[in-house]
């Protein structure tokens, strides 16, 4: 029996400040699960009209699901956050698209009327779980030439993207990275980033207690000259450096996803409406192109074109990866619609957590930009995948379109 299509909305999202991975990072002595628990508790605090028992499912993503990111982290985080014991939860892994997949999985359950309200998020503590730690790739990948060896090293796949098109130069990548830092610094200066953040109590055995209130990764004083002088660890005389790549980070995100009618019943805001989403597979050696086919598929499902998208939140795993996406769709490197508050090149990229960061920033921008109807969140994903979600702005006012004053505009 068919059922009427159900509208799905993004209600609210939060994140921790992102810390640097390593022995001196913000969260070296803080547990990964405590980071995401703090996000869940903050969502409940900020939305007091939502009874905790109405949260029907908790989906939390982590790329490394062991230690303090293990024990079916969606369920364990739900219990630790004080949700009722009757609230189930689960863990998800789609590498960098983990929390994005948590959102689309909860959305699928809502569409099937199995769930009315759910929490989706992600966490990555790369201090405790370095990238690739404990991974044992099957030797057949290389022995049987299923993939090139570079497919298993994300920085090497970014160098492969530079090889793909000679116009994707080191200079363009460094210029894009510099712009990301500047945009992020401007967003902080104008108070645009801070509403997303939840403070985290930290403790260092030597320094004592502290409070994390701001991202640790950004380098607002960097220059293009400084970026050009950085070494290229993935290839001698290469083009991928620490400056035009996202950092290694610790952090967590969480958001509320709901059926539109449930949100209205519970007096929860509808910050965005989910229009379509798609995942795509590509050659693992050039995994950075993944957002191109996933975006094309999502646009097709929505009956839209790239020209309908008024805001882009693209994960900046590597500058070259974003540049290839923009070049494919005929978008300028400095198009103001793209990552207007900066991106992962400045903020950092705690793998599975990043998708919900993109969504939360897009939701804030929608509120301030009623002239924009559609926005896109997209990421490249390790082992050759891409992920994209198209959202609609509920604040959209047709008479505020850029062309609304033209003769004949409606």
- List the catalytic residues: 96, 349, 380
Q: Classify residue 260 by burial, with Cβ atoms within 10 Å: 0-12, 13-18, 19+.
A: middle
DSSP alpha helix (H) spans, 97-249: 98-111, 140-143, 154-164, 170-189, 224-228
Residue 128 contacts residue 68 (beta carbons within 8 Å): yes
- DSSP assignment of 300-328: HHHT--GGGEEEEEE--SBHHHHHHHHHH
Which residue, chain included where needed, has tokens 């953040």? 197
> SS3 for 58?
strand
Inter-CA distances, 103 with 3, 15, 122, 274, 378, Å: 22, 15, 10, 10, 13
| Nearest-angstrom CA–CA distance, 150 and 235 | 11
Give CA 74 to chain center in angstroms. 18
Instruction: Let me know the angle formed at the C-alpha of 195 by 8 and 64, rounded to the nearest 5 degrees.
Output: 70
Residues 6+ away with beta carbon under 8 Å from 393: 272, 310, 366, 369, 370, 372, 373, 374, 375
Rounded to whole angstroms, the Cα distance separating 342 from 222 reads 14
Contact predicate 288/381, CB 8 Å: no
CB neighbours of 166 closer than 8 A, spacing ≥ 6? none
């Amino acid at each position: 029996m068919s059922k009427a299509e159900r509208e799905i909305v993004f209600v609210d999202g939060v994140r921790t400040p992102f810390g640097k991975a390593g022995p001196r990072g913000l969260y070296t002595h803080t547990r990964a699960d405590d980071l995401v628990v703090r996000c869940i508790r903050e969502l409940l605090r900020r939305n007091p009209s939502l009874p905790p028992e109405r949260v029907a499912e908790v989906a939390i993503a982590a790329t490394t699901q062991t230690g303090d990111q293990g024990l079916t982290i969606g369920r364990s985080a739900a219990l630790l956050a004080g949700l009722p014991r009757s609230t189930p939860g689960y863990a998800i892994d789609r590498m960098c698209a983990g929390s994005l997949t948590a959102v689309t999985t909860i959305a699928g359950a809502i569409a099937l009327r199995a769930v009315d309200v759910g929490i989706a998020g992600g966490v990555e503590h790369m201090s405790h779980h370095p990238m690739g730690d404990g991974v044992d790739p099957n030797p057949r990948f290389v022995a049987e030439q299923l993939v090139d060896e570079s497919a298993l090293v994300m920085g090497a796949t970014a160098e492969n993207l530079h090889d793909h098109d000679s116009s994707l130069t080191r200079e363009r990548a460094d210029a894009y990275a510099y712009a990301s830092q500047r945009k992020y610094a401007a967003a902080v200066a104008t108070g645009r980033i801070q509403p997303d953040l939840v403070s985290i109590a930290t403790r260092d055995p030597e320094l004592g207690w502290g409070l994390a209130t701001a991202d640790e990764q950004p380098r607002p004083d960097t220059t293009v000259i400084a970026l050009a002088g950085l070494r290229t660890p993935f290839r001698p005389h290469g083009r991928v450096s620490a400056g035009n790549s996202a950092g290694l980070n610790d952090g967590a995100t969480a958001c509320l996803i709901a059926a539109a009618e449930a949100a209205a019943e519970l007096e929860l805001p509808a910050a965005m409406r989910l229009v379509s989403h798609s995942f795509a597979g590509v050659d693992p050696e050039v995994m950075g192109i993944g957002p191109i086919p996933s975006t094309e598929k999502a646009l097709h499902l929505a009956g839209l074109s790239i020209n309908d998208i008024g805001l882009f939140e693209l994960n900046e795993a590597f500058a070259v990866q974003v540049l290839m996406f923009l070049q494919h769709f005929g978008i300028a490197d400095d198009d103001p619609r793209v990552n207007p508050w900066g991106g992962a090149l400045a903020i950092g990229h705690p793998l599975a957590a990043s998708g919900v960061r993109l969504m939360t920033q897009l939701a804030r921008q929608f509120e301030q930009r009623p002239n924009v109807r559609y926005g896109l969140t997209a990421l490249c994903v390790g082992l050759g995948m891409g992920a994209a979600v198209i959202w609609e702005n509920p604040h959209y006012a047709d008479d505020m379109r850029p062309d609304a004053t033209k003769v004949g505009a409606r």
